[in-house]
Amino acid sequence: MRPLTSLLVLLFVLPAYSQTPVSVSASAVIRAKIQVPLSITKLSDLNFGTMIATPTAGKVTVDPLGVRTAVGGVVLANTSVFGVSAAAFQVNGEANTTFTVLLPTSAQMTFGTNAMTVDTFVADGAPYLLSVNGGQRLSVGATMYVGADQAPGQYSGTFAVTVAYN
């Protein structure tokens, strides 16, 4: 029985020695990029200038280039405490990167209890792409609605411009 036992031991032990464990591996690179934060800075305000209200309502538009026009019962005056200008902003961030601009649907300008609505905000510069230096100037215009016999005064309000990377 001894040869049979030896043969059985060989049959079970020999395969364990004859199998060579195979181990392989591969490597991958780990990457991450921290992007330059996007920022926006106001350079100038949106100024509609001076006008005269009449018994007929009207509207005044300042386009992104700062050109002012009137429709309806508004008379534009040549003098103004603030001048006429589109709002201007400087956007900075990652060079050669696109971004989106979010403008308000409307805003209010008030003088005491009197108000005027501003809407149809529009920005220039689309498509919005930061330069090789990571910056772009953005100008914003809008339309202001002057009521019939709108009360005289210096009206003011604010609006926000939001920018985000695409």
CB 65 within 8 A of CB 159: no
Q: Which residue range(s) make up the domain with 59?
A: 36-165
Assigned domain for 30 exists: no
The residue type at 137: R
CATH number at 141 reads: 2.60.40
3-state DSSP helix/strand/coil percent for the chain, to nearest 5? 10, 45, 45
Q: Is residue 23 part of a domain?
A: no
pLDDT tens for each residue of 80-128: 777 999 999 999 999 999 999 999 999 999 999 999 999 999 999 888 9
What would the mean pLDDT of 26-41 be, rounded to a whole number? 96
**Residue at 46 is within a domain:** yes
**Is a pLDDT exceeding 60 seen at residue 5?**
no
In a domain, 76, yes or no: yes
In a domain, 80, yes or no: yes
pLDDT at residue 79, as a whole number: 72
Q: What percent of the chain has pLDDT over 70?
A: 87
The predicted model scores a pTM of 0.81
Tell how far CA 51 is from the center of its chain.
Answer: 32
Burial of 118 (0-12, 13-18, 19+ CB in 10 A): buried
Residue 79 lies in a domain: yes
CA distance 52 to 38: 41
In a domain, 144, yes or no: yes
pLDDT tens digit sequence for 83-92: 999 999 999 9
